[in-house]
Every structure is written in C-alpha cells, then in structure tokens.
Amino acid sequence: MSTDQIDRNHLKRNYIPVNLQLFAGGDDKTEKATPKRRQDARKKGQVLQSKEITSAFILLFMFAALRLLGGYMYNEIIFFIKKVLTEYVKMPDLYTVNGISKLFILSFVEFLKISGPILAVALITGLVAEYAQVGFLFTTENLGFKFSRINPLSGLKRIFSLRSVVELVKSIIKLAIVGYIAYSYIKSEADNLLTIMELDAIGVATYITSTVINIALRICIALVFIAAVDYIYQWYEYEKSLKMSKQEIKEEYKQTEGNPEIKSKIRQKQRQISMRRMLNDVPSADVVITNPTHYAVAIKYDSNISPAPKVIAKGQDYLAQRIKEIAKENRVEIVENKPLARSLYDSVEVGQEIPEEMYQAVAEILAFVYSIKNGA
C-alpha cells in the first residue's frame, strides 16, 4: 500500500463533519435599525429613555425650589401654628366630629398652600424631562398580560443579566458619591458645628435646614452628571436592541415593498398582456413599415378618431417578425423603409400619434397603400 493511500485512509478515519453555515453569521444582528423597525418599536413602547435623568432633574429642581421658597414656607408654617394656637383651639365644637372635620380640612388646605409650589415644580420637571426624551407617546402594548413577567426562569435571567449587574454597579457608585459629598461638606462645616450650641431653637433649625439643602443640591448636581452617563449607556443598549440581521432587513423589504420576485412576475405578466393586446391590433393596421428584418411598426389612420396616424404596434427582432407574420395573414400591406421604421420605433410609443416632422413620409406611404388597395 502506498503512502498516499495510507494518508487518505487516515483522513477518512479521523474525518469530523463540520457545518460551515455555523461560521456564516447570517443571523447576526449587525445592521442598524431601519426607520420602520424604529417606528414599530416606538408603537410597542420601546423608546430611548433614562429614568436617572428624570429623577435627577426632579430632585435638583425640588431642592432649588426649597432654597428659593424656604422663607415663604417658613412664614406659612409659623402663621398656621399661631392660628391653631390662638383661633382654632377656641372653636366651640373643636372636640366634636364636625369640629375635627373642619380642622382637618383647614389643615389640608394649608398643607397644599405650603407644599403646592414644590409639588408643582416636581410635576412640571418630570413631564418636561420625559417629553424631552420620548416626546408624546400613548401605547397600551405594555398593559397586556405576558407570561414572561411571572415566569420564574425569566425572572432569574433578569436578575443575573448584564443589565442587572450594570444597575448594581450604578447604585453602588451613586451611593459612594452621595456619601462622599455629604461627608466632605459636613467635614468643611466642622468648625461651624461647634457654634450651634450658642444659637436658639430657630437658629439651629435654620442652620440644619440650610446645611441639608446645600448638601442635597450638590448631590443632585452630581446625579445629573451620572444621569448623562447613564443616558449614553441607555442609548447604546437601545441601539443594540434594535439592530437587525441582513435576513430581517430583506424580510422587512419584502413586507413593505413587496417580494421582488413576485413584482418581477407581475411586470412580466403585464408585458405579456400588453404585447398580446398590441398584436391583436395589428390586423386593423393600414400599413406595417419595416427595417426589413430588425424593426416593424404598424400604422393606423382614422380621421374620425385622431387627426394624425397612430402607432398601434411595434417590435424588434422576434416581435418584428411576429408583427409581419400577422400582417401577412390579415393582408396588411408591408412597406420597407429603413430610416422611417427606425425613427418611428425610437421616438413614438404604442398608442401615440406620429410627430409632425414625420407626416410627409408617412403620408406618402399611406397614399401608396391606399392606391394599391383601390387598384385591387
């Protein structure tokens, strides 16, 4: 046995079949999302959105409003307390059901007066932040029941997914930043903390409130920067989730534009119908002008229908031969005129009248044809 045969037998024994399609990557989602894919995702409620941006700006504007409206809120609280101690306690029916109900209503109205501006700022900020990210969107897609929401396996996948890890890391970073900002500010206020004991109750409360708001504003500014980074990450994840494979793009094109093969067959069928109709009109022609072998143009003139002769059929090569055969079968005159046949074929479509510059040449041919018919 030769060495080549031994090598071949060794290869056969150690041969492992491999499916090369595994390396083709045909289903890899590497293509950017099409406008239709983005529109469909938006209808389903899948939009680019960062909750961090909304919450960060709500907190920032709320504490900024507290800083600006703190004096107003303080005066309103003091005024309400004085009113309770001086007027409400003297109500004759204070300890009845009606008196308690009246006091509750008065207290609730005062609460709205004090907290209303802050709540309005939070509401408006939240709406503006959401609209800036998403725009106006109303969908009921996410309201429907989905088994995956209660499926334990899907829940475990979400818990141990990359997104969960990112959210955990993000929470740890936020906690660390919040702790560092609070610690560094309090440390810078260490000297001032020793003087608190010299202040009265109102002074202590004012100092503590101012300190808390200053810390909160610094934390909120830091959260805005974190939200900006989170928005970039959310954009990356959103674009990644919308990516499509080349096969998906082809399928989408078929759905929107129609299957190219079907459209091609439809056009072919239309051409066949048009050709059949055109050939059916050849027997009614007055004359067929030929090249003589490559072109054939059938002319018909009826003064009751149109003021000038019309091209009712034309063809090249095989179709030209077919037009001439039908003309012979139906005793339609065939006249050879190479330049006129070529000019008519190139410049006049089926169903159109001949141009004015060809009137003379066509008229001479028609006169010749009519003379033959009359002579016959």
Indicate if the pLDDT at residue 24 is higher than 50: no
Please give the pLDDT value at position 258.
61
> pLDDT by residue (tens digit) across 214-241?
888 898 899 889 888 888 888 888 888 8
Indicate if the pLDDT at residue 255 is higher than 50: yes
Indicate if the pLDDT at residue 155 is higher than 70: no
Q: Which amino acid is at 263?
A: K
Most confident of 88-92, 105-109, 156-160: 105-109
**CATH superfamily, region 263-375:** secretion proteins EscU (3.40.1690.10)
Indicate if the pLDDT at residue 124 is higher than 90: yes
Please give the pLDDT value at position 123.
92
Parallel/antiparallel/unpaired status of strands 295-300 and 310-316: antiparallel
> pLDDT by residue (tens digit) across 51-80?
888 888 998 999 888 888 888 888 888 888
Of 45, 245, 267, 32, give the one whose Cα is nearest residue 139: 45
For the chain, give every domain's residue range.
49-136+146-243, 263-375
Indicate if the pLDDT at residue 16 is higher than 70: no
Mean pLDDT of the chain: 79
Indicate if the pLDDT at residue 171 is higher than 60: yes
Please give the pLDDT value at position 3.
47
Q: How confident is the model at residue 165 (pLDDT cuts 50, 70, 90)?
A: confident
> pLDDT by residue (tens digit) across 281-333?
888 888 888 887 788 888 888 877 778 888 888 888 888 888 888 888 888 88
Please give the pLDDT value at position 150.
55
Please give the pLDDT value at position 22.
39
Please give the pLDDT value at position 23.
42
The dihedral region occupied by 135, where left means phi > 0, alpha psi between -120 and 50, and beta the remainder, is left
DSSP secondary structure of 224-258: HHHHHHHHHHHHHHHHHHH-B-HHHHHHHHHHHH-
Please give the pLDDT value at position 159.
60
User: What value does the mean pLDDT take over residues 204-208?
Assistant: 79
- Sequence-distant (6+) residues with CB within 8 A of 372 are 333
